[in-house]
Amino acid sequence: MKRNNPDTEPASQFPSRRDFLRTMGLLTGGALVSGVPLLSLAADAVRRDAGFATGRFGLELDGAFAGFLYSVEGGSGVFDVVSVRSGGDLIPRKQLGAVKFENITLTYGPGMSKAFYSWIKDTLDSKQPRKNGAVLMLDFDFKERSRMTFQQALLTEIAFPSLDAASKDAAKMTIKIAPQSTRLIAGTAAAVSGGVKSEQKTSLASNFRLRIHGLEDACTRVNKIEPLLVKQAIQNISSGGERKVTSQPGPLEFSNLVITLREPDAGPFYAWYDDFAIKGNNGDDKERQGVLEFLAPDLKEVLFTVTLHHLGVFNFAPEKVEAGSDNIRRVKVEMYCEAMQFT
């Protein structure tokens, strides 16, 4: 994981109340209300100082540290405002209605905890697990300065990164979680377990291996794969006079597998497309299984695997090339996917 420059002014033990609230407000989209009842900080929870710079983010799941994050966004509580008219008064009275909590978007890389990856795996297996946890705001010394806790969170989106054989960028993955509630509190000022000694494995967007049954050789020539996306629909339900909204999980939706390779190498894919889509031989027995592996820098160790079930090709589109161009023409092949598993 790329480290930020530690050569900054040392942060004091606690932020001032003013700086703490401003930092929390920016983190959650400017809202300082993030729970029911309203956030209340004890007077001795913060001390006056020059503030602190958020050097890193961490994630905690069910009381255990789950790894470092690249970025964090969302999580604030947003209330409905209800207008009420009473009697013959033409001036409406306003009051707060139900509260809804924004999704929390977390960007991460390889090296998260087993419990974190199990959460993803179980979600893709339609077990719909809920998690309690916290997003930790850490200074450059890995000391916890503040935290946003969340309760009964469901995964609503899992995004695997775009892959490019020519890329030198880190392979960053994203999840979105729907919390039942959140709350902002001051940090413990304790160093996160492991601190700077906790090194995480890295992976580049070029470190991947795709295999599709019957097309293994052609897959070695795939140079780009568009992001894979899994979404879980969430239904928010208000019950009676409750000010909270209860979230209920719905079905999973899987994105298409979209790959790019050189046209001279795409013959086997076109043969499948011609038979499956054009000629209509597209029964279940003509669908294929696939495996996408994310590799460590040595290109040997498999960090994790996405298994792609029931792939069906439906689009074979050569990319535009200008006349006289020296570029080799490439084609984009698109396949639907009925299910994905994570290992």
So what's the pLDDT on residue 197?
A: 40
| H or E segment and range at residue 217 | helix 216-219
Class for the domain spanning 254-342: mainly beta
- Judge whether residue 315 has pLDDT over 70: yes
CB atoms within 10 A of CB 286: 13
Alpha carbons 138 and 140: distance in angstroms, whole number: 7
Q: Which tokens sit at 197? A: 């000694």
Least confident of 34-38, 79-83, 92-96, 116-120: 34-38
CB atoms within 10 A of CB 163: 24
- Judge whether residue 51 has pLDDT over 70: no
So what's the pLDDT on residue 46?
A: 35
So what's the pLDDT on residue 302?
A: 93
List, as one string, the DSSP characters of 248-287.
EEEEEEEPPEEEEEEGGG-HHHHHHHIIIIIS---SGGG-
Chain segment 120-176, per-residue pLDDT in tens: 999 999 998 999 999 999 988 888 999 999 999 999 999 999 999 999 999 999 999
Would you report the helix, strand and coil content of the chain in percent, each value rounded to 5? 15, 45, 40
Domains 17-80+95-201+227-252 and 254-342 share a fold: yes
- Judge whether residue 74 has pLDDT over 50: yes
Alpha carbons 191 and 196: distance in angstroms, whole number: 9
Alpha carbons 14 and 48: distance in angstroms, whole number: 7
Q: How many CA atoms lie within 13 A of 41 on its CB side?
A: 22
Q: Average pLDDT, stretch 36-49?
A: 34
Domain regions of the chain by residue span: 17-80+95-201+227-252, 254-342
Alpha carbons 137 and 72: distance in angstroms, whole number: 10
Q: Among candidates 106, 100, 34, which has minimal Cα distance to 71?
A: 106
- Judge whether residue 328 has pLDDT over 90: no
43 — pLDDT class (breaks 50, 70, 90): very low
Q: Which residues contact 325 (CB under 8 A, 6 or more apart)?
A: none
21 — pLDDT class (breaks 50, 70, 90): very low
The one-letter amino acid code at 100 reads K
CB atoms within 10 A of CB 61: 20
So what's the pLDDT on residue 77?
A: 82
Chain segment 211-264, per-residue pLDDT in tens: 999 999 999 999 999 999 999 987 766 655 555 667 778 889 999 999 999 999
Q: Average pLDDT, stretch 206-215?
A: 96
List, as one string, the DSSP characters of 91-131.
SPEEEEEEEEE--EEEEE-S---HHHHHHHHHHHTT----E
Residue with tokens 């509580």: 77
Alpha carbons 74 and 80: distance in angstroms, whole number: 17
Least confident of 11-25, 72-86, 272-286, 287-301: 11-25
- Judge whether residue 12 has pLDDT over 60: no
- Judge whether residue 48 has pLDDT over 50: no
Q: Average pLDDT, stretch 206-211?
A: 96
So what's the pLDDT on residue 237?
A: 67
90 — pLDDT class (breaks 50, 70, 90): confident
Alpha carbons 341 and 160: distance in angstroms, whole number: 12
Q: Average pLDDT, stretch 6-35?
A: 41
- Judge whether residue 16 has pLDDT over 80: no
Class for the domain spanning 17-80+95-201+227-252: mainly beta
